[in-house]
Amino acid sequence: MTTEKMLNIHLPVLGFAAFSGTGKTTLLKQVIPILRDQGLHPGLIKHAHHRVEFDQPGKDSYELRKAGAEQVLLASANRWALMAETPDESEPELPELLARMDLSSLDLVLVEGFRHLSFPKIELHRPSLGKPLLFEQDDSIIAIATDESLDNHAGLPSLDLNDPLAIARFIEEYCERFSS
């Protein structure tokens, strides 16, 4: 089954897979503005492995959610956010999260996390951290971004982890191939 069918969307979805501390968020903060400058409209899904509080104690939306509202949609003139309680505390599934996004205004969805799922991903690797390469166990990795040269990368494209412009170009090319 193709990734598009598994995820049930018509847009390219591209993940960034790495061990904690490798710099996924730092890289995405650099790449997203470059993609925007190139006219692309990226969405982002970020998975957190710990309990996250999105709202602030004392704020109305926080207090109403804590009072028992299972969903709170907070809206203003320039943004809105939907917070939903998940009392069973099960991990969210990527297709479920994609279904909740408004994909009509996006050109692609970048995903930080969900590295154990099979969908196209760029692996970020810093040999200095002493962690193993992920691509050897994950055939859905389509490129490796690293800060040192690698002897064995199974013919995968090798990207400079410290060159967000080159990584953005790779993402643009991936989007072009997806739409062909």
Domains within the chain, CATH numbers bracketed: 3-47+92-179 (3.40.50.300), 52-90 (no CATH)
Question: Residue 87: what are its φ and ψ, rounded to 5°?
Answer: -65, -25
Q: For residues 55 and 59, give the distance between their C-alpha atoms in angstroms, rounded to a whole number.
A: 7
Q: For residues 82 and 75, give the distance between their C-alpha atoms in angstroms, rounded to a whole number.
A: 9
Q: What is the pLDDT of residue 4?
A: 47
56 vs 142, higher pLDDT: 142
- Is the pLDDT assigned to residue 162 strictly greater than 60? yes
Q: What is the DSSP letter of 10?
A: S
Q: For residues 45 and 43, give the distance between their C-alpha atoms in angstroms, rounded to a whole number.
A: 7
Q: For residues 114 and 13, give the distance between their C-alpha atoms in angstroms, rounded to a whole number.
A: 12
pLDDT digits (tens, 9 = 90+) for 19-32: 999 999 999 999 99
pLDDT digits (tens, 9 = 90+) for 105-133: 999 999 998 888 999 999 999 999 999 99
Q: For residues 84 and 29, give the distance between their C-alpha atoms in angstroms, rounded to a whole number.
A: 26
pLDDT digits (tens, 9 = 90+) for 59-93: 777 787 778 787 888 888 888 888 787 777 677 78
Q: What is the pLDDT of residue 63?
A: 81
